[in-house]
A and B are shown apart, each in its own frame.
Chain A
Amino acid sequence: GAVVSQHPSWVICKSGTSVKIECRSLDFQATTMFWYRQFPKQSLMLMATSNEGSKATYEQGVEKDKFLINHASLTLSTLTVTSAHPEDSSFYICSATGNDRGVYEQYFGPGTRLTVT
């Protein structure tokens, strides 16, 4: 149980375009989802926290107009990188947690590798 999926697993886009990444909790209701980015050989950096049906809370230094987060249902959150630039190339990982069946641990998705050319 407690499986989180992400789609796509990798994506290449051109500078200036937008990319959407999906995060789904497959077998539990995710009341809260988190989005992280990870640069090579570094730790995970929290970008934002999203609760179902409400606006996301962004960490300091993360541009909310550039990284649009939508948590429309208890099983789906999306991250849209708008007007992507090469410096946005990174590994984006979501995690989910919920009160269903006492699932308060954060379970992570497999990550999405974004390359902006």
Chain B
Amino acid sequence: QQQVKQSPQSLIVQKGGISIINCAYENTAFDYFPWYQQFPGKGPALLIAIRPDVSEKKEGRFTISFNKSAKQFSLHIMDSQPGDSATYFCAASNLQGAQKLVFGQGTRLTINP
């Protein structure tokens, strides 16, 4: 019940296209859903996060869509650029509890120029 399932494992998108990464969770106590971007040899960097009281959050080219009833959320990267090539992790936590992040398995995104 603590798992967060992420797909796809890898993704190749042409420059200018839309990259979509999906995550699903089971624990209804989760109330915080961040996305992290990680480059090789670096720590993860917080990209964007959403709380379950909204269905969508947009920051620049990055959008989170959240479906509470389906227990799914996704990251959309619009106008994908080669610099977006990285590994992306979704995560979930319960801010009212231990605040431990449960990570998805990661998606290796490659943007072809």
State the A residues within 8 Å of B (CB): 4, 6, 32, 34, 41-44, 46, 49, 57, 91, 93, 95, 97, 104-111, 113
- Chain A contact residues, majority secondary structure: strand
Given A46-B100, A97-B99, do A105 and B46 touch, yes or no (CB 8 Å)? yes
A108 touches B100 (CB 8 A): no
A34 touches B46 (CB 8 A): no
Given A34-B101, A44-B89, do A104 and B42 touch, yes or no (CB 8 Å)? no
Complex-state Cα separation, A104 to B95, whole angstroms: 8
Given A105-B49, A113-B41, do A43 and B103 touch, yes or no (CB 8 Å)? yes
B70 interface hit (Cβ, 8 Å): no
Complex-state Cα separation, A95 to B44, whole angstroms: 9
A43 touches B89 (CB 8 A): yes
Contacts of A43 on B, CB cut-off 8 Å? 89, 103-106
Given A43-B89, A93-B44, A111-B41, do A106 and B34 touch, yes or no (CB 8 Å)? yes
